[in-house]
Amino acid sequence: MDSRVQTFPGGAGSGALVAERNRVLRNTYWLLALSMVPTVLGAWVGINTGLTALLSPGIGLMVFLVGAFGFMFAIEKFKNSAAGVPILLAFTFFMGLMLARLLGTVLGLRNGSSLIMMAFAGTGAIFFGMATLSSIIKRDLSNMGKFMFIGVIMLLVAGIANVFIQSSALMISLSVLAIGIFSFFILHDLKRVQDGEETNYITATLGVYLSVYNVFSSLLALLGIFGGERD
């Protein structure tokens, strides 16, 4: 039989492709949910030990960049092996540890706990909104990723500069832009899985996790600035 017949809509090949995409998407969601556990654990360790608070802003930035890019390189290298998932979970623990400084600052506010819950709820709403859109939108969003990647590079450069400039106005602007860019990245990455452009759930989880992490941290920073109640 001509193999092309099997790829017609409604054919056996088409059904197998849909099943494979659904499997990758399902595994991505499960691994993303699992990754929240070491993230919370890492944040708890960081807050209770004060480890990240001991680092100066410059040293903290270097540790973050070296650690994050090192882990991401390792995840991509081992994404097709049994080591891929443990490395990803170790990475999320590290990211939770790096989040401890911001969380500790917000918890120092009188309404810090409620601000964290608001940031969590807001991030969840954005994620579920983008996930829903990814299953509805039929348009190919591949080209959007190129422009968003440029935006991320610009955010990274400006963020590094602001570690030394310490401008509140720039921080607010970057946080707002980060929420917008990474929200669209959630949509983009989930759509790629649903379209069959991303077939590795570890890579897919890494991309979505980074977007969710940045949306949450940016929301929390904004809430801390505008909604924080100081004693």
Between the alpha carbon of residue 72 and those of residues 69, 99, 145, 170, the distances in Å are 5, 17, 18, 27
| Residue among 156, 63, 154, 71 nearest 101 (CA) | 63
Which pLDDT value is given to residue 5? 37
Rounded Cα distance, 159 and 226, in Å: 19
The torsion defined by the Cα of 212, 215, 217 and 221, in degrees rounded to 10, comes to -170
Which pLDDT value is given to residue 207? 95
Global pTM reads 0.89
What one-character DSSP code corresponds to residue 79? T
Rounded Cα distance, 127 and 129, in Å: 5
Say how many C-beta atoms besides its own lie within 10 A of residue 30's C-beta: 12
- Mean pLDDT, contiguous 10-residue spans, the chain (231 residues): 41 72 93 96 93 80 92 95 95 96 91 94 96 87 80 89 86 93 94 90 96 96 84 64
| Residue among 127, 3, 100 nearest 46 (CA) | 100
Which pLDDT value is given to residue 60? 86
What one-character DSSP code corresponds to residue 169? H
Which pLDDT value is given to residue 168? 86
